[in-house]
Amino acid sequence: MTATDPALTALADGWCALSLLHGRIEAHIERALQGGHGLSVREFSLLDVLSRQHDGVGGRLQMKQVADAVVLSQSATTRLVTRLEERGLLARYLCPTDRRGIYTDVTPAGADLLAAARPTNNAALREALDQAAGDPHLAPLVTAVEQIRGPVPA
């Protein structure tokens, strides 16, 4: 294969289109969440992931699992948790069975903000996808996103 191989060029073009779609969607949602709720996309994502925890087996996430779920490094996730904790939206506590483990829960204020922001997030996502569907280069990717059902395995 050479750098000008049509298969590599097509692959790179597809990756660029996917990156462009992601960037447009994230920017659109970011503006909506910041304007309406003072939340970034990452903050919303973190609150959303942590709100889905439960007390059953495997229901509590350790920081590495949280970082993987929000697609950030562990250090960036820890900084984000700290910022949201300072705003009263999250609370940390020691794992009752392993004192080395620290868990994070959404506070009532965090749950209220998440509930208020979720419709904004969903509407902004829909708007961004609808706008992207009008671009012939992005329309197939929009279709693929719309066909995914359920969580994507990590």
Each residue's pLDDT expressed in tens, for the chain with a length of 154 residues: 566 777 778 888 899 999 999 999 999 999 999 999 999 999 999 999 999 998 777 788 888 889 999 999 999 999 999 999 999 999 998 877 777 778 899 999 999 999 999 999 999 999 999 999 999 999 999 999 999 987 776 5
pLDDT at 2: 60
Cβ–Cβ < 8 Å for 109, 46:
no
**Distance (Å, whole) CA 77 – CA 74:** 5
For residue 8, the number of C-alpha atoms closer than 13 Å in the C-beta half-sphere is 5
Give the chain's radius of gyration (CA, Å): 18
The pLDDT, as a whole number, for residue 57 is 77
Token pair recorded at residue 72: 């950030």
Q: Report pLDDT for 100.
A: 74
pLDDT of residue 154: 59
Question: Where do the structural domains in the chain lie, given as residue ranges?
Answer: 26-146
pTM: 0.87
Q: Supply the pLDDT for residue 99.
A: 73
Amino acid symbol at 104 = T
| CATH, range 26-146 | 1.10.10.10
The CA distance from 93 to 95, in Å, is 7
Report pLDDT for 90.
97
The pLDDT assigned to 31 comes to 98
